[in-house]
């Protein structure tokens, strides 16, 4: 399966953001990609006070409707890294979608782990001020195999991905708006670890550059194979990078090093 991973610099202007997405989806269709993956918060990034105003109903909101049309027009899967989904007057969900080539919404995942962190002298984020966390994992069946959905900060919680792998995932989607500072330190090693330990493809579309004044994202969107090799990586800026997923690499990784089969959970499941 050929996938296109779109790296964006999403800002507050939704129309401009959607136009950029359309341009890259069209390019991916011309390149015969079967699936494109978009980053977290692909249609809007702005000040905290504007987030809820830009949240939409799913599937009836403008962004979902537009992307459903686009998927149908180009007969491809669109993995919508995330958009703000309306919850109530106070809060939204940070929600990932999978749209199939008929233009139908086939999976929806709400970010479970919210980015509430403070690095002294560097940055502070309190995603839970504006976002309500999701409460369940979500897998989706693709022609290539099963995929597990997640978003950004979820990457730091390996138990979610192990659960997906044990439930038969071949692909882990990890769209993000990873910060530049934490990205330089942790993005690639964590992504490669998730791919290696679960012997899955990892597809990680990221935001790049400054989206909101004073806050910058790391970019480095990538596809990693089940051996942990980075097979495709976006360069600096906005753009698209492609990779061909090969089922044989999943089989060879799992046959050569059967670590998923060699687990002994009976000895450590009691640890908390
Ligand atoms: N932005 C996030 O949700 C996560 C992140 O930047 C990090 O974990 O670091």
202-249 pLDDT, tens digit per residue, is 999 999 999 988 889 999 999 999 999 999 999 999 999 999 999 999
97 pLDDT more than 90:
yes
Residue 66 CA to residue 154 CA, distance in Å, equals 27
Q: Give 272's pLDDT tier (boundaries 50, 70, 90).
A: confident
Residues 89-118 have a mean pLDDT of: 97
Instruction: Tell me whether residue 40 is one of the annotated catalytic residues.
Output: yes
CA of 151 to the centre of ligand 1 (A): 9
Ligand 1 nearest-atom number relative to CA 114: 3
pLDDT number for residue 63: 98
Q: How many CA atoms lie within 13 A of 256 on its CB side?
A: 10
CA of 127 to the centre of ligand 1 (A): 10
Residues 187-206 have a mean pLDDT of: 98
Which residues are near ligand 1 (CB < 6 Å)? Answer: 115, 152-153, 156, 177-179, 182
pLDDT number for residue 185: 97
Ligand 1 nearest-atom number relative to CA 152: 3
Tokens representing residue 166 in the block: 């044990």
Residues 98-122 have a mean pLDDT of: 97
103 pLDDT more than 90:
yes
| Pairing, β 116-119 against β 123-126 | antiparallel
Other C-beta atoms lying within 10 Å of the C-beta of residue 126: 13
Can you give the C-alpha Rg of the chain in angstroms? 18
Domain segments of the chain as ranges: 2-260
137 pLDDT more than 90:
yes
pLDDT number for residue 213: 87
Percent of the chain with pLDDT over 90: 97
CB 98 within 8 A of CB 79: yes
Query: Any alpha helices (H) in 31-157, and if so which ranges?
Result: 48-51, 62-74
Mean pLDDT estimate for the chain: 97
Residue 68 CA to residue 264 CA, distance in Å, equals 43
Q: Could you give the ipTM of this predicted complex? A: 0.98
Q: Give 87's pLDDT tier (boundaries 50, 70, 90).
A: very high
Pocket test residue of 42, 125, 206 for ligand 1, highest count of atoms within 8 A of CB: 125
CA of 266 to the centre of ligand 1 (A): 32
Indicate the helix (H) or strand (E) that contains 226. Answer: none
Nearest to 191 by CA among 181, 210, 180, 206: 206
Pocket test residue of 51, 127, 178, 220 for ligand 1, highest count of atoms within 8 A of CB: 178
Q: Identify any residues that bridge with 217 across adjacent strands, giving them in sequence order.
A: 179, 209
2-260: CATH number? 3.60.110.10
Instruction: Tell me whether residue 200 is one of the annotated catalytic residues.
Output: no
pLDDT number for residue 214: 85
CB 256 within 8 A of CB 248: no
Residue 269 CA to residue 272 CA, distance in Å, equals 8
Tokens representing residue 159 in the block: 């138990």
CB 73 within 8 A of CB 56: no
Of the residues 51, 127, 152, 217, only one is catalytic, namely: 152
């Amino acid at each position: 399966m050929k996938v296109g991973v779109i790296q964006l610099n999403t800002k507050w202007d939704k129309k401009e953001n959607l136009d950029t997405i359309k341009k890259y989806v069209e390019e991916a269709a011309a390149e015969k990609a079967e699936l494109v993956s978009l980053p977290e918060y692909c249609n809007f990034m702005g000040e905290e006070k504007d987030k809820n105003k830009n949240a939409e109903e799913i599937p009836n909101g403008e962004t979902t409707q537009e992307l459903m049309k686009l998927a149908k027009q180009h007969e491809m899967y669109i993995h919508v890294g995330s958009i703000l989904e309306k919850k109530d007057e106070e809060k939204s969900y940070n929600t990932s979608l999978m749209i199939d080539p008929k233009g139908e919404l086939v999976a929806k995942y709400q970010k479970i782990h919210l980015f509430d962190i403070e690095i002294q002298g560097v940055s502070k984020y309190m995603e839970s001020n504006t976002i309500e966390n999701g409460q369940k994992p979500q897998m989706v069946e693709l022609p290539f195999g099963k995929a597990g959905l997640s978003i950004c900060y979820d990457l730091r919680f390996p138990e979610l991905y192990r659960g997906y792998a044990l439930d038969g995932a071949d692909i882990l989607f990890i769209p993000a708006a990873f910060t530049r500072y934490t990205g330089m330190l942790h993005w690639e090693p964590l992504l490669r670890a998730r791919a290696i330990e679960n012997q899955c493809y990892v597809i990680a579309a990221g935001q790049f550059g400054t989206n909101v004044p004073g806050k910058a994202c790391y970019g480095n969107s990538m596809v990693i194979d089940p051996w942990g090799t980075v097979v495709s990586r976006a360069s600096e800026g906005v753009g698209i990078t492609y990779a061909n997923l090969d089922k044989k690499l999943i089989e060879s990784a799992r046959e050569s090093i059967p670590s998923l089969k060699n687990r002994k959970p009976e000895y450590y499941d009691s640890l908390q």
